[in-house]
């Protein structure tokens, strides 16, 4: 089992550790609900160094990224990022990912550079997939093992981090980034993409510098009540926002159109893997759709539970579910037949011998107070 540069810090803090995507990761440090609320109301720090990072660099770097991803990377300016996915050529998704348009000072003349941030469980799979399609004048570099990543999330994130850097954090708007010195460490990439809906920043740095950055952040944020946060609360936070988790809500069998990710599927940008298939789905319609739902019961919906209509006919399946710490009710995501995908539709979640009454709702489940 792999470790991150911060594994010893997590153990010293008493974290409950478990295997996740081949890594020994902190699931919680004490109480998931407390960690969840710390991010919603204050500031918390996630170690997400298990994520993968690839550099795509060369004269035809853009052409490769355009070929393998669904979003339009040509729209990115230097200092911008976008959410995207890797279509698998059969209507499904190899992975979802972030695409960063990097400064060109790291390139030779006429070259461009991108950073692709992929899920930990798919690093090898994604690398092989992208490499297989790299018929361009472009170099792929896997920097996953050399890169550490922290997510500092919550409404007080900027207040905790700003004393540690000369970078103006207020200028880093949603889905943009900047590079600078943080906690005395040079070349830290600071972005604002988020996976919690609570605001904050991601910090990419050399793995060997991550302990120094972690310690500095906790010292600087002490007066703000900063807390370490495990993957358990990361899941409840993302689910309240209706964000997809690869392997649960999207995978090799799900289309981005079905998953409500049509907004990252730019069929007008030109040729890319699965383009014609997705265009046809848009024109002809889809049979199922990913929806959010609330449960009128105390029992939590779980991945794989069948979903039925009121007549007892199976119409879909739960992909994610949890007890929402912010709302105090069970919530879930699942695929249902399109006729049941409208907000307000009544459905039933089958939990063993019990059928839980549920209602399709508009996402996100949780909306931050203005």
CATH code, 118? 3.30.70.1400
**What's the pLDDT score for residue 369?**
61
CA dihedral 91, 55, 133, 82 (to 10 degrees): 30
Asked if the structure places residue 323 within a domain, the reply is yes
Same domain, 323 and 347: yes
Cα–chain center distance at 333: 15
Residues β-bridged to residue 93: 87
Asked if the structure places residue 278 within a domain, the reply is no
Return the ∠ at Cα 280 (arms to 276 and 282), rounded to 5°. Answer: 120
Asked if the structure places residue 78 within a domain, the reply is yes
Q: Alpha carbon of 212 to those of 47, 150, 184, 205, 265: distances in Å?
A: 13, 12, 9, 11, 39
Q: Which domain holds residue 177?
A: 7-48+146-240
Terminal-residue alpha carbon distance, the chain: 42
> Domain of 301: which CATH number?
2.40.30.110
Same domain, 16 and 62: no
Asked if the structure places residue 103 within a domain, the reply is yes
Cβ(84)–Cβ(99) below 8 Å: yes
- Write down the residue that tokens 């994130």 correspond to: 157
196: nearest Cα among 370, 346, 326, 361: 326
Same domain, 124 and 178: no
Same domain, 157 and 207: yes
The Cα 55–Cα 63 span in angstroms is 14
CA dihedral 62, 66, 71, 76 (to 10 degrees): 10
The Cα 86–Cα 93 span in angstroms is 6
Same domain, 122 and 41: no
Asked if the structure places residue 317 within a domain, the reply is yes
Asked if the structure places residue 253 within a domain, the reply is no
Which pTM was predicted? 0.97
Same domain, 151 and 236: yes
Task: Annotate 275-298 with b (16+ C-beta within 10 A) or e (fewer).
Answer: bebbeebeeeeeebbbbbbbbebe
The Cα 347–Cα 296 span in angstroms is 11
Return the ∠ at Cα 206 (arms to 204 and 209), rounded to 5°. Answer: 105
Same domain, 223 and 180: yes
CB atoms under 10 Å from CB of 19, counted, come to 11
- Tell me how many domains the chain contains: 3
Same domain, 158 and 211: yes
Cα–chain center distance at 347: 28
Asked if the structure places residue 214 within a domain, the reply is yes
**What's the pLDDT score for residue 326?**
97
Which of 203, 221, 240 represents a domain boundary (last residue)?
A: 240
The C-alpha R_g of the chain, in whole angstroms, comes to 21
Asked if the structure places residue 24 within a domain, the reply is yes
153: nearest Cα among 192, 201, 111: 201
Beta strands in 41-155 (DSSP E): 44-47, 52-58, 81-87, 93-101, 112-118, 138-142, 147-153
Cβ(357)–Cβ(346) below 8 Å: yes
Which of 142, 164, 192 represents a domain boundary (last residue)?
A: 142
Mean pLDDT of successive 10-residue stretches along the chain, which has 370 residues:
97 98 97 97 98 97 98 98 98 98 85 97 98 97 98 98 98 98 98 96 98 98 98 98 98 98 98 98 97 96 97 98 98 98 98 96 86
**What's the pLDDT score for residue 302?**
97
Which of 83, 111, 142 represents a domain boundary (last residue)?
A: 142
Same domain, 32 and 181: yes
Q: Report the run of H or E that residue 281 belongs to, with start and end.
A: helix 275-284
């Amino acid at each position: 089992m792999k470790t991150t540069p911060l594994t010893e810090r997590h153990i010293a803090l008493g974290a409950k550790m478990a295997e996740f995507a081949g890594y020994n990761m902190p699931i919680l440090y004490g109480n998931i609900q407390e960690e969840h609320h710390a991010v919603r109301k204050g500031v918390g720090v996630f170690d997400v160094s298990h994520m993968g990072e690839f550099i795509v660099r060369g004269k035809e770097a853009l052409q490769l990224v355009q070929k393998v991803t669904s979003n339009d990377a040509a729209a990115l300016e230097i200092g911008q990022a976008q959410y995207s996915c890797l279509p698998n050529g059969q209507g499904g998704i190899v992975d979802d990912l972030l695409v960063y348009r990097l400064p060109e000072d790291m390139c030779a003349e006429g070259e461009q550079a991108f950073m692709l941030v992929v899920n930990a469980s798919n690093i090898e799979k994604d690398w092989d997939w992208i490499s297989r399609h790299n018929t361009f004048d472009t170099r792929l570099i896997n920097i996953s093992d050399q890169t550490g990543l922290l997510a500092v999330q919550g409404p007080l994130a900027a207040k905790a981090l700003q004393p540690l850097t000369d970078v103006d954090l207020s200028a880093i708007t949603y889905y943009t980034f900047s590079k600078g010195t943080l906690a005395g460490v040079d070349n830290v990439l600071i972005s604002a993409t988020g996976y919690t809906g609570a605001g904050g920043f991601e910090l990419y740095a050399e793995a060997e510098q991550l302990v120094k950055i972690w310690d500095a952040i906790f010292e600087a944020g002490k007066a703000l009540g900063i807390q370490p946060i495990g993957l358990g609360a990361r899941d409840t936070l993302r689910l309240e926002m209706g964000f997809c988790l690869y392997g649960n809500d999207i995978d090799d069998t799900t289309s981005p159109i079905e998953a409500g990710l049509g907004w990252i599927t730019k069929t007008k940008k030109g040729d890319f893997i699965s383009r014609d298939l997705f265009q046809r789905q848009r024109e002809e319609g889809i049979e199922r759709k990913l929806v959010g739902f609330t449960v009128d019961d105390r029992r939590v919906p779980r991945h794989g539970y069948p979903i039925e209509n009121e007549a007892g006919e199976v119409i879909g399946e739960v992909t994610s579910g949890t007890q929402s710490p912010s709302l105090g009710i069970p919530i879930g995501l699942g695929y249902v037949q399109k006729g049941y995908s409208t907000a307000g539709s009544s459905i039933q979640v089958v939990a063993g011998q019990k059928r839980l009454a549920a209602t399709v709702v508009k996402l996100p489940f949780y909306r931050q107070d203005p």
